[in-house]
Structure 1
Amino acid sequence: MSIQLLSRTDDFGSARAANRAILEAADTGYVVRNVSCIACAPYIEEGAELLKKYIHIDIGLHLTLNSEWNGVRWGALTDNRQITDDRGYFFQTQWELAGRKPDVDGIIKEYDAQLDRLTKLGLSAAYADSHMGPELWVTGLAEAIEDWTLKKGLISARNYYSVAKQGQPPFTDKDEVYLKGVRLWLEGLQQGRQYSYVTHPAVGCEEMRLFYNEEIPAGVIEKQRNQEYMAVTAHAWTKWREELDIRPVCYTEAKEQGDGLPILKSMLNFGKK
């Protein structure tokens, strides 16, 4: 039985470098089958026209309430002062947002606006997933998201997480070593199982040096996301898929795995500041 690889790229719209990398990955058709879009990000509009032509890709709404970087920011599509700072940007951390004790109904209205924007841009969302998991910090939000996705006819991505014991491929100092690490990671997957493979590819360039904050120096995200860009566009996937019997899948053809909140907590180091 094949290894089902639920391969997803996040943060489409966050930067031109991200759009370029994700569109190239979609164009190759090697591995990416799901693209999560930040509807309130600065470059979603200019990338949408190109993204919607890929019929083998499931489009997702990357439910966004945080804007974590210093050099590039985004804010709400609704006039909700509970979920933005004095400049109108989303808070950088989940606990800053939770500290404002935002009304969940107001958040759902923001999600409505984000979904509407994707729809108006011609992007028909099949699923919804969460950027930075604020539902782990905001009381009642996790349940509200489940109700909202059901009402909107969307797949709730949280119920599809299945993470390998070895986590995700580790970043390295050398790009060629990282690519070898991806191959080793794939070799550790079990036949007949479904695994999540979540990346944030972006072309390494000056624009990506804006993705930094007090905890992550400039250049770190640029390098990591460039390595993921190299990985998801690597021609080696044609060989890997055949040799290891790997089948990339969309959310619309994947199997539910049960409530993924515990996995999300582990991935986001829930409770640690």
Structure 2
Amino acid sequence: MKNLVLSLIFGLTVSFGFSQQNEEFQLLIRADDIGSFHAANKSCIEVYKNGIARSVELMPPCAWFTEAVEMLAENPGYDVGIHLTLTSEWSNVKWRPLTHCPSLVDEDGYFYPMVWKNSNFPQNSSISESDWKLEEIEQELRAQIELSVKHLPHISHLSSHMGFTGLDPKINDLVNKLAKEYGLEVDTKELQRFTGWGNDIPPEKRIDKFCENLKKLTPGKYLFIEHPAKNTAEMETVGHIGYENVGEDREWVTRVFTSPKVKQTIQQKGIKLISYADLKQ
């Protein structure tokens, strides 16, 4: 009994000591979807070189993957993750798998637009409505991982585009298995989600709201995910029912991530910007 009490006390002491060592503000800013568009590639690099992003998610099946790889090779300090992709959500731009996986594509051979059934889309527009095969998902994800690490061996982690790992525990287990096999991390649950600005904030007020929420942070590790891009003619073609103003929306993400006011707030608050590679170490 005495040994049990001592063990419990010792365990509590160790846990308390760990929390004391982590009484700091750590924030992981993640830029998603490099490789999807030229406008996204430019902004994803800009928000690293001139902004606050420290991790970026690469989409292997997309049209601008090759340019993205070249840009990332020129910025080796930028932490890169593979944004495993099984959907093609935009109305005027479509992506195909790297492998033959008929259970994951529509009648034209493109990935389905959605992971889950969506009222804005016709029936059978999602993976959830298809007769998906786990073995086909595995072969496609393996191809995406191997293509990415072939060009960027320093890749540190995996994440899932549109959160498809939540579709079924077997898919989540598969991604965890592949991460372990290839020596990569997965999107960690130890990070608290940072609010950023919220859906009801007009774009022109995002910088102020972002700074306001930064000032409210309590000690801990936080994650904020967004999709920077330039509001160019290319992005005028990008959208789907329910999300039409993509170019403007993502231009403002770029502005927030490169804002001098945001960078100053982070410095004054004593927030340490981290990456998935930092967590891995």
TM-score computed with the length of structure 2 as normaliser? 0.83
Question: SS state of the match for residue 32, structure 2?
Answer: strand
1:49 and 1:122 in contact (8 A); partners too: no
Q: CA deviation at 1:255?
A: 7.6
Structure 1 residues 160, 109: CA separation in 2 closer, same or farther (over 3 Å shift)?
A: farther
Structure 1 residues 138, 251: CA separation in 2 closer, same or farther (over 3 Å shift)?
A: same
Query: Where does 1:247-266 land on structure 2 (aligned, <5 Å)?
Result: 247-254=272-279
Query: Where does 1:142-181 land on structure 2 (aligned, <5 Å)?
Result: 142-164=172-194, 167-170=195-198, 172-175=201-204, 177-181=205-209
Question: SS state of the match for residue 206, structure 2?
Answer: helix
Query: Where does 1:224-243 land on structure 2 (aligned, <5 Å)?
Result: 224-243=249-268
Q: Distance in 2 between matches of 1:255 and 1:115?
A: 18
Q: CA deviation at 1:173?
A: 3.2
Query: Where does 1:61-100 land on structure 2 (aligned, <5 Å)?
Result: 61-95=82-116, 96-100=126-130
* Aligned position for 1:197: 224
1:9 and 1:201 in contact (8 A); partners too: yes
User: Quick check: 1:48 aligned with 2:69?
Assistant: yes
User: Quick check: 1:14 aligned with 2:39?
Assistant: no
* Aligned position for 1:216: 243
| Gap regions ≥5 residues in structure 1 | 257-273
Q: Distance in 2 between matches of 1:183 and 1:140?
A: 39
Q: CA deviation at 1:84?
A: 0.9
Provide Cα deviations, 1:117-168, integer angstroms capped at 9, x if missing partner: 212333532000010112222451111111111111110114344114xx33
Q: Distance in 1 between matches of 2:167 and 2:243?
A: 22
1:163 and 1:196 in contact (8 A); partners too: yes
Question: SS state of the match for residue 76, structure 1?
Answer: coil
Q: CA deviation at 1:9?
A: 0.5
Q: CA deviation at 1:205?
A: 1.6
Q: Distance in 2 between matches of 1:216 and 1:239?
A: 32
Q: Which has the higher helix share?
A: 2
2:185 and 2:280 in contact (8 A); partners too: no
